[in-house]
Structure 1
């Protein structure tokens, strides 16, 4: 997943970022609403973890504006408030879930997985396309009954394709998922990882198409495109 963490308490933000990065997710952190709006204007995210109390305003007001602009990115709200009304406000303004501080990072991770699965219409941890079975929570992949070993970035790429079946994904979008905003490789790295993924999923009923000048598209029903 690509995650934006909007939290002004430095040690909390660092702990969340480190935890999700270790799980193979690409994360950016914003300490205020201005920076958060800037990030959301530049990139597409799978999840926003949003604190309520921020130095330049209310996270709830930010969430309300986000939904008013028809941005449907999943949002998990962090709050130090225990009042029921605050929780109701968060959900009414468009939050997908909330978590009260202090919290266990493992619970935050579990809630993040649940929120993004619901958003993609998947109620189970395992998402299947024909004979290809991917468990996002366990980072496991099977083709028929054979386990497929993927690297962290190969799994990120497969997750992007599985969550966006039939949608054309631009090379730049895939690159940002793999490397974040501060990329450490050239755009050609996307081609390398797509080629590796195709080889490993050669027997899967998933075709990863190259659309020249547009990007890549994962289509269910066929065999994966054979490497040349």
Structure 2
């Protein structure tokens, strides 16, 4: 407390120095933020040619506070997790959502991705005591029956041909506990069905009605919530239960 009082007295005696330091910090902050935006936007523009199917969400932080849309899935999920829940994250990618967000509420998390590099990256940056990152292909791996309270499937379902997607949903349904739920999302595309916008996508949805019909082939209860990102991209979040 005495030390803090001395500092306070010092700054009162040197208002010009205080103003200079404050202005310098402000300038450095602006430069840092703008430079970060350039890096983040460059990564996003080059992402499709970088040869990776998973996105490093650290670059989203660099793109500025106005780029908050990518956090939707984090809070959508956190709002539905209970403290004792076991969670399976399918297509975890870089692992940020598990290691930064879900870890704070779920009791244990199994986060899987078919890309070995994604799992290496996730283990390096987001390893936690209650998270297990593993390389698994959900089209080949059978989920243990009646095991998870929550399964997440964000920006994944569009990567499967329709018949494979249905099998994945059935696999998930089998792995959910009685009152468990599937949480996920997919972009809603504004184009003709035959005009796939991403070479990795096998089943792009062009309406909420189409998506709901697809999900209800497996799940009895389906809730949808559509959001729009900067008037450029529409994502539809879904909550499914038996």
TM-score (normalizing by structure 2): 0.27
Higher helix share: 2
The one of the two structures with greater contact order (alpha-carbon pairs below 8 A, sep at least 6) is 1
